[in-house]
Amino acid sequence: MMAVHLQRPLAAMCCLFLYCLIGVLSSPDPRLREALIELEASMQTGGQMVLTDAEQRLDALLLKLKQEEMSREDFPPAMHFFRAKHLIQTSPIFRLLQKMPKGGALHVHDVSMVDVEWLVKNVTYRPHCYMCSTDNMSVRFIFSSQSPKPLARCSPWVLLENLRAKIVNTTDLDNSIRGNLSLFTDRDPEAVYPSQDVVWDRFEQAFQAVWGLVTYAPVFRDYFYQGLTQFYTDNVMYLELRAMLPEVYELDGSTHNKAWTMKTYQDITKQFVSTHPDFFGARIIFTHQRRANISAVAEAVKEAMQLKKDFPDFLAGFDLVGREDRGKPLWYFRDALSLPAKKGVQLPYFFHAGETDLEGTEVDQNLLDALLLNTSRIGHGFALLRHPVAKDLSRKRGVAVEVCPISNQVLKLVNDLRNHPAAALMLENHPLVISSDDPAMFGASGLSYDFYEAFVGFGGIKSHIGSLKELAMNSIRYSSLSREQQKEALLLWQRRWNTFVTENEFLKIN
Amino acid sequence: MMAVHLQRPLAAMCCLFLYCLIGVLSSPDPRLREALIELEASMQTGGQMVLTDAEQRLDALLLKLKQEEMSREDFPPAMHFFRAKHLIQTSPIFRLLQKMPKGGALHVHDVSMVDVEWLVKNVTYRPHCYMCSTDNMSVRFIFSSQSPKPLARCSPWVLLENLRAKIVNTTDLDNSIRGNLSLFTDRDPEAVYPSQDVVWDRFEQAFQAVWGLVTYAPVFRDYFYQGLTQFYTDNVMYLELRAMLPEVYELDGSTHNKAWTMKTYQDITKQFVSTHPDFFGARIIFTHQRRANISAVAEAVKEAMQLKKDFPDFLAGFDLVGREDRGKPLWYFRDALSLPAKKGVQLPYFFHAGETDLEGTEVDQNLLDALLLNTSRIGHGFALLRHPVAKDLSRKRGVAVEVCPISNQVLKLVNDLRNHPAAALMLENHPLVISSDDPAMFGASGLSYDFYEAFVGFGGIKSHIGSLKELAMNSIRYSSLSREQQKEALLLWQRRWNTFVTENEFLKIN
């Protein structure tokens, strides 16, 4: 990969020379044009990747498929994902992307890893599962050995076992539960979610609905294992999970502390890796609500410092989460967030920043502040194009943007994904990775749907197998893994990639 | 304005120094933060403008108004213009922008200058006006002293005078005519125009409907005069009109050639300027359909060369128009377009380019090709962010982008105008001007609606009175006027600007 960096000054010189020629020549020269087109193509993500013969053959297939895809009447990246999902599922590019080793998923939240179907069919059918209906049209769950205490603004608890025994057809009940656990809908998404306020409210309600299910210790373990399985099945080999590290509870109401939760995550990861040797592992980014007050955030930072000490190789770092537009800006927490540096403790940050369209407001300073606070990556960075200094800093310092296309669309930052700012970032090879944020909440899974949107929607005809390769490699290069671990992970990925490329070449010939 | 350019290297050095500091400091320094925020603010359009006291006072008012505007539930730039129009009309920022001297309108088409109301109430009520209904739900018009020949795929001609005499209430008829002369609708624009294909089809139908009205010689003259009046009333002082130079006809069916049409435009402009001394004038960019074949375009280029010879100070140059996605790419016409350079004739180009989201297709090369063909400006340039080499060239060579926000939204390139690529371009002070393309077709008028979208939508809280000032000055600086004429125009503009600034200051105090 060093070649890419060495070639940059050369490209710049070449560029200058070509520009001068334009002024000199009286009519447009086809060779000059070709050179400029090539120069532009070489600037994009993966644009300087040297491709093997097998990769070139696969690329020819991909180009053909992409051209067919772009001539479709209904172009999926231009549509809301809820409408586009079934189209994407039938796309041969999508099926190819599912098989592709995509490297790591660096921006995924703890309780939205596993598809909702699994929660409904597996978790809510377990014994001791109680449900109540809130007065704002959501539901809450709790597992309990005895009848749980009533919850404010919620109907009396009903044991689901009993409820299901009483009704003949449980399909309606299951559908209703499913509808409460994610944002996905078959109805017109624009009508159901007319504004950011509405969609964020339902989003937060759905999280609270899922919360009672997944923080029950036995489910907590199974959920994470199932999450790893689903990402693994989608050919993701590594995960950095943003986790709230909640108080996980037992049937008798007793709860566990954060260290227990971390330990559980670590144990299950080890267990998973031992049976799936081509899965590289997982790490935790401890997250705290950004709506909290300063002392709560300071407390969380201290806990994070302790956890970093106790799980030095498993805790990646710290982040603040929740709706950026409604939370406090990072600068508000600057003292709390400066604690580790002041104490000489290494606590990497992975701040959400720029997940907003409120240009020029206090919250809109988060991008620059995340960089000032030495963030290792930027979560979303949707507003980055509107911050040329932050953009320049992110590029120069190799602070990658975690781009989550479907999330940004569902949460109403952009409609047509061809207008997503990452399209421009990819065409300049800005440091970035593709991730899925909360795939289960959006009716997606793993990384493939988001890779599809990025590859077809951001890249248009221009992005190619080299772009995909660089995106996958970026997910290792910009991970929190050490240099040594990255080397190891890249080797593992390269092996899987080679198989993928030759297998697909085989598919093409047949 | 030279100061801006001199300061650039200084800004770059300052930038480098600040970046280094970030690595050195262990906790974020408020002064460093302030410096970076200021650096970023200074990079935007108008960011280095030195403001007078009066301007600063007006700016404080604008900031207050903008903050109120951005906290609205319905934020107009995020909505379709057809829905947002009445909200914009009640916005105090909009009313201020209407009063503001905006300089020149550099991207406006000939038959969409004047609001449709004027066409209905004034033009269709003139004697000898015939109408027929096409089989694809549009209408056509012709003025004729005798019953006109039947038109293919159109109902028999009806004399509107006779029709109106027969019906008691002409409101329905007028409404129906009005609906056919523009895209504007009170109904749900997403439902009426579900795709680019549908909206472009209706767009082209509306042009054909207007065509028969405005190419009738007496109307042609009045229409242009009325167009100048409407732009003048909107405080636009100069116009570069993209004109097809059609065969203008008389009541007896006789027609005039292009030289007559140019002469008419020139005479009316002179007449208008003589009675409106604070209007600077107008120039013509001769345009030809891009769907034409090579020989037709070659013919048009030759005509343009002749017109440039005959009207050296009134013809600005040449352009190709029509839906870019469906027309031939510029490169296809390269030989025809190289004719002037080969013959040593000066024919400036003002090419539409990048009005597309078909990334990586042949048509998507138009941006680079427009630059290779030495275009003086770029019409739309919507795809510019996806072309880093073209973007760099456009910046380095001062080839301004003519940004038409409402047009791009109505023609379905972008929904939420905060995601328009020009938002990013403005924050980097990319050479650009704001224009309105076909205001009458979109239910807009003059430049104020588009300035509103740019100022509030692109700029967010960040853009200020300096941005507006630079946008207005850009429209003179990037016009086709000579250096001498630009100086003169800037003086005229500056006089009007000073009045505007002090008058508004007065309004504020009261």
Question: What per-residue confidence (pLDDT) applies to A73?
Answer: 82
CB B211 within 8 A of CB B249: no
A residues 95-154 closer than 8 Å to B (CB): none
Quickly count: other Cβ atoms within 10 Å of residue B2's Cβ: 6
Same-domain status, B181 and B151: yes
pLDDT beyond 80 at A510: no
Tell me the pLDDT tens digit for each residue of A9-39.
455 555 666 676 665 556 788 999 999 999 9
Average pLDDT value for chain B:
94
Same-domain status, B194 and B306: no
List of E strands, A24-120: 104-109
Q: How close, in Å, is residue A75 to chain B by CA atoms?
A: 11
> Is position B506 within any domain?
no
**Which of B83, B333, B359, B425 best tests the A interface by mutation, with the highest count of A CBs <10 A?**
B359
Instruction: From chain B, pick out residues whose CB is under 8 angstroms from the CB of A360.
Output: 459-462
Residue A355: active-site member: yes
Tell me the pLDDT tens digit for each residue of A318-371.
999 999 999 999 999 999 999 999 999 999 999 999 999 998 999 999 999 999
Share of chain A above pLDDT 90, in %: 91
Same-domain status, A198 and A257: no
> Is position A142 within any domain?
yes
Domain CATH code at residue B402 = 3.20.20.140
Q: Do B427 and A386 touch (CB under 8 A)?
A: yes
Question: What per-residue confidence (pLDDT) applies to A2?
Answer: 32
Q: How close, in Å, is residue A225 to chain B by CA atoms?
A: 38
pLDDT beyond 90 at A504: no
Domain count, chain A: 2
pLDDT beyond 90 at B134: yes
Chain B's closest residue to A196, CA to CA, is: B73
Tell me the pLDDT tens digit for each residue of A131-154.
999 999 999 999 999 999 999 999
pLDDT beyond 90 at B340: yes
Per-position DSSP letters for A331-345, written without gaps between them: GGGHHHHHHHHHTT-
Tell me the pLDDT tens digit for each residue of B287-329.
999 999 999 999 999 999 999 999 999 999 999 999 999 999 9
Q: Do A419 and B424 touch (CB under 8 A)?
A: no
Instruction: From chain A, pick out residues whose CB is under 8 angstroms from the CB of B369.
Output: 28, 33
Tell me the pLDDT tens digit for each residue of A259-295.
999 999 999 999 999 999 999 999 999 999 999 999 9
Note the Cα B205 to chain centre separation in Å. Answer: 20
pLDDT beyond 50 at B509: no
Q: Is A310 on the interface with B (CB under 8 A)?
A: no
Tell me the pLDDT tens digit for each residue of A91-119.
999 999 999 999 999 999 999 999 999 99
Residue where a domain stops, chosen among A202, A237, A257? A202
How far the first Cα of chain A sits from its last, in Å, is 33
Question: What per-residue confidence (pLDDT) applies to A24?
Answer: 57
> Is position B82 within any domain?
no
> Is position B246 within any domain?
yes
Average pLDDT value for chain A:
94
Q: Do A22 and B371 touch (CB under 8 A)?
A: yes
CA torsion sign for A186, A191, A192, A196 is positive
pLDDT beyond 50 at B453: yes
Instruction: From chain A, pick out residues whose CB is under 8 angstroms from the CB of B386.
Output: 423-424, 427, 460, 462
pLDDT beyond 90 at B2: no
B315-321/B352-353 β-pairing: unpaired
CB B161 within 8 A of CB B134: no
Residue B56, token pair as written in the block:
């600063």
Please state which of the ranges A110-114, A457-461, B123-127, B366-370 shows the lowest mean pLDDT. A457-461
Question: What per-residue confidence (pLDDT) applies to A10?
Answer: 52
Q: Do B423 and A36 touch (CB under 8 A)?
A: no
Same-domain status, A188 and A172: yes
Mean pLDDT, residues B437-449: 98
Q: Do A459 and B22 touch (CB under 8 A)?
A: no
The pLDDT-based confidence of B73 (bands split at 50, 70, 90) is: confident
Same-domain status, B132 and B226: no
> Is position A59 within any domain?
no
Same-domain status, B399 and B457: yes
Same-domain status, B256 and B291: yes
Residue A269, token pair as written in the block:
């990861």
* Cα B370 to Cα B349: distance, rounded to the nearest angstrom: 8
Residue where a domain stops, chosen among B176, B202, B228? B202
**Which of A79, A368, A389 best tests the B interface by mutation, with the highest count of B CBs <10 A?**
A389
Same-domain status, A108 and A133: no
Which of A55, A69, A324, A355 is flagged as catalytic? A355
Quickly count: other Cβ atoms within 10 Å of residue B24's Cβ: 8
* Cα A53 to Cα A404: distance, rounded to the nearest angstrom: 31
Question: What per-residue confidence (pLDDT) applies to A49?
Answer: 96
Residue B355: active-site member: yes
Query: How big is the CA angle at B427 (ends B422 and B429), to the nearest 5 degrees?
Result: 90
Q: How close, in Å, is residue B78 to chain A by CA atoms?
A: 10
pLDDT beyond 50 at B4: no
Q: How far is CA B227 from CA B6, B129, B236, in A?
A: 39, 21, 11
pLDDT beyond 80 at B352: yes
Tell me the pLDDT tens digit for each residue of B233-271.
999 999 999 999 999 999 999 999 999 999 999 999 999
Candidates A301, A307, A295, A346; CA nearest to A320 is: A301
Question: What per-residue confidence (pLDDT) applies to A132?
Answer: 98
Which residue in the set A341, A389, A419 is minimally distant from B40, CB to CB?
A: A389
Q: Do A385 and B70 touch (CB under 8 A)?
A: no
Which of B107, B380, B420, B464 is flagged as catalytic? B380
Q: Do B28 and A334 touch (CB under 8 A)?
A: yes
3-state SS class at B294: helix
> Is position A413 within any domain?
yes
Q: Is B424 on the interface with A (CB under 8 A)?
A: yes
Share of chain A above pLDDT 70, in %: 93
Same-domain status, B170 and B221: no
Which of B55, B324, B355, B402 is flagged as catalytic? B355
Query: How big is the CA angle at A401 (ends A396 and A402), to the nearest 5 degrees?
Result: 160
Same-domain status, B292 and B398: yes
Q: How close, in Å, is residue A340 to chain B by CA atoms?
A: 9
Mean pLDDT, residues B38-58: 96
CB B385 within 8 A of CB B424: yes
Mean pLDDT, residues B440-457: 98
pLDDT beyond 90 at B25: no
Question: What per-residue confidence (pLDDT) applies to A237?
Answer: 98
Question: What per-residue confidence (pLDDT) applies to A28?
Answer: 81
Question: What per-residue confidence (pLDDT) applies to A296?
Answer: 98
Same-domain status, A366 and A465: yes
pLDDT beyond 80 at B23: no
Domain of residue A477 covers: 95-112+217-498
Question: What per-residue confidence (pLDDT) applies to A72?
Answer: 83
A129-133/A158-159 β-pairing: antiparallel
Question: What per-residue confidence (pLDDT) applies to B503?
Answer: 82
> Is position A419 within any domain?
yes
Phi-psi category of A154—alpha, beta or left, where left has phi over 0 and alpha has psi -120 to 50?
beta
Per-position DSSP letters for A306-340, written without gaps between them: HHHHHSTTTEEEEEEES-TTTS--GGGGHHHHHHH
Residue where a domain stops, chosen among B202, B226, B247? B202
> Is position A6 within any domain?
no
Same-domain status, B297 and B197: no
pLDDT beyond 80 at B494: yes
Q: Is A70 on the interface with B (CB under 8 A)?
A: yes
CB A404 within 8 A of CB A445: no
* Cα B19 to Cα B285: distance, rounded to the nearest angstrom: 46
B residues 348-377 closer than 8 Å to A (CB): 357-361, 364-365, 368-369, 371-374
